[in-house]
Amino acid sequence: MKSIKQRTGFAIAVLIGTLELCSPSRAAPPADKPKGEPVAMEQVPKAVKKTLMAQAPGGSVSAVERVQVDGQWLYEAHVESQGAKHEVWIAQDGKVVPSKEKDDDDD
């Protein structure tokens, strides 16, 4: 039979593990879209620009805004490619950041 100390220690470990799993490790696009500041393509970091061009093959980027989320800068771009318009969120390092809305629509 386990002692109270062992059970308490186990409960604390489970709680800490749960909190670690639930806390975001990267910035994600906010659900309640904050106001971003418009950014000219000349001011967009190279890594972000490269990803944008990959996200819009043969298409165009109509607007880019810079938004700070959880201390990180994200770039929100409005892209039109193959007749479809969509929004892309890109981290400063050029990685696409999946949005909560997009994940919810896939269900």
Our CA angle for 41, 44, 50, nearest 5°, is 90
Residue 71 lies in a domain: yes
Tell whether the model's pLDDT for residue 104 goes beyond 50: no
- The total of structural domains in the chain comes to 1
Compute the distance between CA of residue 52 and CA of residue 7 in angstroms, rounded to an integer. Answer: 51
Residue 3 lies in a domain: no
Compute the distance between CA of residue 32 and CA of residue 9 in angstroms, rounded to an integer. Answer: 38
Report residue 76's pLDDT band, with 50, 70 and 90 as the boundaries: very high
Q: Which residue segment(s) compose the domain that 54 sits in?
A: 29-105
Residue 16 lies in a domain: no
Residue 9 lies in a domain: no
Lowest-pLDDT range, 30-34, 48-52, 53-57? 30-34
CATH of residue 98's domain is 3.10.450.360
- For the chain, what is the mean pLDDT? 74
Q: If you compute the radius of gyration of the chain from its CA atoms, what whole number of angstroms results?
A: 20
